[in-house]
Amino acid sequence: MAYIVALDQGTTSSRAILFNEKGSILGIQQKEFPQYFPHSGWVEHDPQEIWNTQFEVFKALLKVSEISPEDITAIGITNQRETTVVWDRRTGEPVYKAIVWQDKRTSDYCEQLKSDGHEAIIRSKTGLVIDSYFSGTKIHWMLENVKGARELAEAGHLCFGTIDTWLVWRLTKGEVHATDYTNASRTMMYNIVENRWDEELLKMLNVPASMLPEAHPSSYHFGDFDYEGVKIPIMGIAGDQQAALFGQACFEPGDAKNTYGTGCFMLMNTGNQCEISKSGLLTTMACSVGDELTYALEGSIFIAGAAIQWLRDALRVIDDASDSEYFATQVDTNDVYLVPAFAGLGAPYWDQYSRGAIFGLTRDTGKNHIIKAALQSIAYQTRDVKSAMEQDSGIALNTLMVDGGATANDYLMQFQSDILGTEVDRPEITESTALGAAYLAGLTAGVWTLEEIKKVRKTERKFTPNISKSERDKLYKNWQKAVERTFNWSKEE
Ligand code: ADP
């Protein structure tokens, strides 16, 4: 019997999940922690609360599952990405709260970096766009604004870490300061082409190299969790989206997954090709196993499941998100289009001035048409990102692996397959993120091989395209027409 524990440190809660060697879930413990919003646009977490909740759910998992620490073969970690912690290596005390990925306080600094002409160099080295989302400008802010931080950093006393790094530091009682490539590639300081921290970028952001963790492949023995005298090896780390890609067994170039939550996160494995996107996608590192580097293209959609929440909470045409399926199937036509650009449009359009709109209304349009159009908009946006990925990589999408709350909707999944013209594969275990962390740890520990993991992943249901190519092209063309008409809507003339 092998037991693997995945520590899944998310934006709103910390979870610990117990897997056996078949990849089945034996137990889950979860604890939420507070979110702090000190100013408009600022979002913070308390690193101590992150650690405490993560440690508590780990202890509770062992207790409820009646296993002892000796029974655990390995631990895997997956985490909210980009969120930034800085602490003093002598005391382990954070110098400030964690600045969360959603935090916008460095937007002006990002604008300055852009107007200083740094965009192209950052794009070519990191695969990212300049944005407050990524860790680099958050560290810069702390060093500039937290009293005494700059001096401590220059003296070599401060450590930077994304959440995985902070957890490893705490788990190993300060012995290990490390991260994995997937997390490093979200900092805007990591050169993903040359696979190293980049001195030029560090200089640009004025971050001392002494603050940085060592970066390793995702499948690696990072150190040991010293728990009640037992050493439990930490054998896998990946940022949440890359962990989900791995958990969906997307190991080959062209394998892709999409997570349907509030927004959508779609990633495509591009193998050892580091493609810098020409279509507005991000290039990022995927989970690397051994010496071979693995890359992925990433596209995010701001509003996906959130459009269904909007139907429920603002329009009040459904009581529950799951009701959307029934109402959508009461309509035969596909003539109404809803573009949910409530917060502008992300990949591949990147128009912050676009706003939501509904097109194709006639005298007989009713609420069911609008509900159907909202579900379809999730599928159309996914098609937009898929097309961009195929264009950038030159690789055709095989099958789309799916997970996340909205994949429970069979109508949406079928329409997704119809509009992509590819199979959509929904797994039995939709906890792809935690599963990915467990797979990585089990792989390093020798519990299974990549081939075995592929067999462990079980499909719950496959959706296959059910409309003709001409029908698909017609529907999609109208979607593109609708999207175009929302461009620049909120821009002052
Ligand atoms: P997150 O992790 O972003 O909170 P989840 O994976 O929990 O998201 O998914 C929740 C989202 O999915 C919500 O936005 C909700 O509106 C949507 N959703 C949940 N169930 C359905 C359903 N059956 N049909 C369509 N959308 C759904």
- The CA–CA distances, whole Å, from 319 to 311, 315, 323, 413 equal 9, 10, 7, 21
Closest atom of ligand 1 to 306 CA is: 14
Q: Identify the band that residue 347 occupies on the pLDDT scale cut at 50, 70 and 90.
A: confident
| Residues having CB within 6 Å of any atom of ligand 1 | 261-262, 305-306, 308-309, 321-322, 324-325, 404-406, 408-409, 412
CA of 187 to the centre of ligand 1 (A): 28
Please report how many Cα atoms fall inside a 13 Å half-sphere around the Cα of residue 64, on the Cβ side. Answer: 14
pLDDT at 233: 98
Chain segment 212-256, per-residue pLDDT in tens: 999 999 999 999 999 999 999 999 999 999 999 999 999 999 999
Best residue for ligand 1 mutational test, from 9, 12, 241, 262 (most atoms within 8 Å of Cβ): 262
Supply the residue whose CA is at minimum distance from atom 15 of ligand 1: 305
* Res. 155: pLDDT tops 90: yes
* Res. 352: pLDDT tops 90: no
For the segment 416-435, the average pLDDT, to the nearest whole number, is 95
Q: What is the DSSP letter of 395?
A: -
- Which string of DSSP letters, residue by residue, matches 403-414? ESGGGG-HHHHH
Select the more confidently predicted residue: 424 or 22: 424
Closest atom of ligand 1 to 375 CA is: 25
Angle (CA) 490 300 53, round 5°: 115
Cα 189 from Cα 203, distance rounded (Å)? 10
Q: Identify the band that residue 265 occupies on the pLDDT scale cut at 50, 70 and 90.
A: very high
CA of 360 to the centre of ligand 1 (A): 26
CA of 381 to the centre of ligand 1 (A): 16
Contact yes or no for 429/458 (Cβ under 8 A): yes
Chain segment 169-217, per-residue pLDDT in tens: 999 999 999 999 999 999 999 999 999 999 999 999 999 999 999 999 9
Q: Please report where in the chains the tokens 């520590």 appear, as a residue.
A: 7
Supply the residue whose CA is at minimum distance from atom 21 of ligand 1: 406
Supply the residue whose CA is at minimum distance from atom 2 of ligand 1: 261
* Structure token pair of residue 362: 């006639």
CA of 304 to the centre of ligand 1 (A): 8
CA of 259 to the centre of ligand 1 (A): 10
- The CA–CA distances, whole Å, from 449 to 18, 293, 454 equal 19, 18, 9
| Pairing, β 399-403 against β 256-260 | parallel
pTM exceeds 0.85: yes
CA of 7 to the centre of ligand 1 (A): 22
Chain segment 320-341, per-residue pLDDT in tens: 999 999 999 999 999 999 999 9
CA of 280 to the centre of ligand 1 (A): 25
Q: Tell me how crowded residue 448 is: count the other CB atoms within 10 A of its CB.
A: 20
CA of 178 to the centre of ligand 1 (A): 34
* Res. 41: pLDDT tops 90: no
Closest atom of ligand 1 to 259 CA is: 6
Supply the residue whose CA is at minimum distance from atom 9 of ligand 1: 405
Task: Please compute Rg for the chain using Cα positions.
Answer: 22
Q: Identify the band that residue 291 occupies on the pLDDT scale cut at 50, 70 and 90.
A: confident
Residues 6+ apart with CB under 8 A from 266: 256, 257, 258, 259, 298, 299, 300, 301, 382, 385, 386, 389
* Res. 401: pLDDT tops 90: yes
CA of 344 to the centre of ligand 1 (A): 20
CA of 368 to the centre of ligand 1 (A): 19
For residue 9, list its beta bridge partners. 14, 79
Supply the residue whose CA is at minimum distance from atom 18 of ligand 1: 406
Among candidates 336, 387, 323, which has minimal Cα distance to 362?
Answer: 336
Best residue for ligand 1 mutational test, from 259, 303, 316, 409 (most atoms within 8 Å of Cβ): 409
In Å, how far from its chain's centre is CA 297?
12
Backbone angles phi, psi at 440, to 5 degrees: -60, -45
Contact yes or no for 437/431 (Cβ under 8 A): no
Supply the residue whose CA is at minimum distance from atom 27 of ligand 1: 406
Closest atom of ligand 1 to 325 CA is: 24
Q: Is the dihedral of CA 397, 419, 297, 120 positive or negative?
A: positive
**CA torsion angle 386 388 390 391 (round to 10):** 160
| Pairing, β 230-239 against β 282-285 | unpaired
CA of 265 to the centre of ligand 1 (A): 13
